[in-house]
């Protein structure tokens, strides 16, 4: 690899930065929810086609695949960008704020898409510098379970792919810094739907009823032992009941109580164990009270596990491209990401891109109606994705 490849990539990221800003702001102004990304996908496809890049539309309904081919021979490396927005009313007051009421790019997917396009522009200029192919996955629906990733996979997005890389903006890190974490990085996320069925009656004569509210209270407390008494203290897991619905009057014991919650785990094995244990705890407590339970566990995203080798390559690439002072160790999070589906199929890594700028007041966290980014971070994001692809393709 030429010694000047890093400087060339940095120069190209500067060159294409104004276009990345324009694309990001256009997407931000017209946010689209999961599997509704028609306008966004068209913008992505048209931008790539104008560069002479091979494009496939309509993947996983509203997704786009694109391929930049280098020299003959070599493998295929994939770079993923997600495109969907959130059902949030924007309150940033930006001149390019959302024009779609109740919809907002509050998780940075507009910048992810612009970064992916920027990386494609860079690599399109560097075709003679790498062997093999770079496949760009512009994915719909990361924000809504089951996510767009499994549908992209079904439609052939990973066919022939050897490695995959993706990034996500991070509000807690300064703009232009990048963070990495090998192994388990993000949790699985399952939704719990529990209905406890009792026998209704007068609140003054509880002896003639089976009180599902009291039973539900015991169930909620009992489920906390799933983590406190069934999980290794050095491991990570969370169970939360976030919704309780029951009753309609102060003096009536209702027929049933509905509980809704979430289960998070960093272990595939403990996740499976927890599903069984939840049913045992709920059915055991309900049985002792004379109540019955309907339990449904809606499987969400799996545990996101970054490859050791691929993460090491990414971190080393970042140090070469930006310097050690711009690289940090990313924290493990109990949040979930459907990039995990790709990593179940091929090795790769998912890393963080800092977008914070306190002096400019850019500090709001994701999924917040005031969220925005320091757009200069997109230069680093596009350069990192492009350089990582080149490094991965040329190392073998």
Smallest CA-to-CA distance from 17 within 384, 353, 390, 380 is with: 380
Residue 173 main-chain phi, psi, to 5 deg: -120, 150
Which of 274, 298, 322 is where one domain is finished? 298
Same domain assignment for residues 339 and 231? no
Cβ within 8 Å of residue 359, ≥6 positions away: none
Percent of all residues in the chain with a pLDDT value above 70, rounded to a whole number: 99
Smallest CA-to-CA distance from 215 within 294, 295, 292 is with: 292
Same domain assignment for residues 264 and 231? yes
Same domain assignment for residues 268 and 364? no
Same domain assignment for residues 331 and 194? no
Smallest CA-to-CA distance from 301 within 349, 335, 350 is with: 335
* pLDDT tier at 1, thresholds 50, 70, 90: very low
pLDDT in tens, 334-390: 999 999 999 999 999 999 999 999 999 999 999 999 999 999 999 999 999 999 999
CATH number, position 62: 3.40.630.10
Contact between residue 303 and residue 266 where contact means Cβ atoms under 8 Å apart: yes
Contact between residue 280 and residue 287 where contact means Cβ atoms under 8 Å apart: no
Contact between residue 134 and residue 67 where contact means Cβ atoms under 8 Å apart: yes
E strand or H helix that includes residue 16: helix 5-29
Which of 298, 313, 346 is where one domain is finished? 298
Q: Hey, which residues does 164 pair with through a beta bridge?
A: 78, 348
Which parts of 141-267 fold into alpha helices (H)? 149-154, 212-228
- The chain-wide mean pLDDT, for the chain, equals 97
pLDDT of residue 395: 86
Asked whether the predicted pLDDT for residue 321 surpasses 70, the reply is: yes
**CA within 13 Å, CB half, 238:** 16
Q: Does 32 qualify as catalytic in the annotation?
A: no
pLDDT in tens, 237-278: 999 999 999 999 999 999 999 999 999 999 999 999 999 999
Residues 165, 301, 351, 387: which is the catalytic one?
301
Same domain assignment for residues 95 and 120? yes
Same domain assignment for residues 64 and 168? yes
Q: DSSP of 252-269, one letter per residue? A: EE-SEEEEEEEEEES-HH
pLDDT of residue 124: 98
pLDDT of residue 72: 87
**What b-and-e string marks burial along 139-155, b requiring 16 or more CB atoms within 10 Å of the CB?**
bbbbbeeebbbbbbbeb
pLDDT in tens, 188-241: 999 999 999 999 999 999 999 999 999 999 999 999 999 999 999 999 999 999
Residues 36, 184, 315, 375: which is the catalytic one?
375
Residue 36, both tokens: 């509704």
Asked whether the predicted pLDDT for residue 2 surpasses 80, the reply is: no
CATH number, position 233: 3.30.70.360
Q: DSSP of 115-145, one letter per residue? A: HHHHHHHHHHHTGGG-EEEEEEEEES-SSST
Which of 236, 271, 298 is where one domain is finished? 298
Rounded distance between C-alpha atoms, residue 368 and residue 167, angstroms:
19
Same domain assignment for residues 284 and 327? no
pLDDT in tens, 29-85: 999 999 999 999 999 999 999 999 999 999 999 999 999 999 988 999 999 999 999
Q: What is the mean pLDDT of residues 322-343?
A: 97
E strand or H helix that includes residue 29: helix 5-29
Q: What is the mean pLDDT of residues 11-29?
A: 98
Q: DSSP of 274-343, one letter per residue? A: HHHHHHHHHHHHHHHHT-EEEEEEE-----EEE-HHHHHHHHHHHHHHH-GGGEEEPPPBSS--THHHHH
- Please tell me the total count of domains within the chain: 2
Residue 395, both tokens: 């190392």
Same domain assignment for residues 333 and 294? no
Q: Does 37 qualify as catalytic in the annotation?
A: no
How far is residue 164 from each of residues 96, 334, 349, 368, measured CA to CA in Å?
Answer: 32, 22, 7, 29
Same domain assignment for residues 154 and 25? yes
pLDDT of residue 73: 86
Same domain assignment for residues 171 and 311? yes
Same domain assignment for residues 144 and 164? yes
How far is residue 137 from each of residues 13, 151, 157, 349, 377, measured CA to CA in Å?
Answer: 20, 12, 7, 15, 21
Q: What is the mean pLDDT of residues 170-178?
A: 98
Check residue 148 and report its DSSP letter. S
218 lies in which domain range? 188-298
Contact between residue 229 and residue 237 where contact means Cβ atoms under 8 Å apart: no
Same domain assignment for residues 210 and 171? no
Residue 128, number of CB atoms within 10 A of its CB: 7
């Amino acid at each position: 690899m030429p010694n000047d490849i890093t400087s060339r990539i940095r120069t190209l990221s500067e060159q294409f930065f104004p276009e990345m800003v324009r694309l990001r702001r256009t997407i931000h102004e017209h946010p689209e929810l999961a599997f509704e990304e028609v306008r966004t996908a068209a913008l992505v496809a048209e931008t790539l086609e104008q560069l002479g890049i091979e494009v496939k539309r309509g993947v996983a309904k509203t997704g786009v695949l694109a391929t930049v081919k280098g020299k003959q021979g070599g493998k295929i490396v994939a770079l993923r960008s997600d495109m969907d927005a959130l059902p949030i009313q924007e309150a940033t007051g930006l001149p390019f704020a959302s024009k779609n009421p109740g919809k907002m790019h509050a998780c940075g997917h507009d910048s992810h898409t612009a970064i992916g396009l920027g990386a494609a522009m860079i690599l399109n200029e560097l075709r003679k510098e790498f062997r093999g192919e770079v496949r760009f996955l512009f994915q719909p629906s990361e924000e809504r379970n089951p996510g767009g990733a499994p549908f992209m996979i079904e439609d052939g997005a990973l066919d022939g792919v050897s490695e995959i890389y993706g990034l996500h903006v991070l509000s807690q890190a300064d703009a232009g810094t990048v963070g990495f974490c090998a192994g388990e990085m993000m949790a699985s996320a399952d939704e719990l739907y529990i209905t406890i069925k009792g026998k209704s009656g007068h609140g003054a004569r509880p002896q003639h009823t089976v009180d599902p509210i009291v039973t539900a209270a015991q169930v909620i407390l009992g489920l906390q032992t799933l983590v406190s008494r069934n999980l290794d203290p050095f491991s990570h897991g969370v169970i939360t009941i976030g919704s309780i619905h029951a009753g309609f009057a102060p003096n009536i014991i209702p027929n049933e109580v509905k509980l809704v919650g979430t289960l998070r785990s960093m272990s595939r094995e403990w996740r499976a164990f927890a599903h069984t244990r939840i049913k045992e705890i709920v059915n055991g407590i309900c049985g002792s009270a004379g109540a019955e339970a309907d339990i449904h566990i809606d499987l969400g995203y799996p545990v996101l596990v970054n490859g050791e080798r691929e993460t090491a390559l990414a971190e080393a690439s970042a140090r070469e491209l930006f310097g050690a002072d711009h690289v940090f160790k990313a924290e493990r999070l109990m949040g979930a990401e459907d990039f995990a589906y790709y990593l179940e199929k091929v090795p790769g890594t998912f890393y963080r891109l800092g977008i914070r700028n306190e002096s400019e007041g850019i500090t709001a966290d994701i999924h917040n109606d005031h969220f925005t980014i320091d757009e200069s971070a997109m230069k680093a994001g596009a350069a990192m994705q492009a350089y990582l692809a080149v490094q991965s393709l040329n190392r073998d």
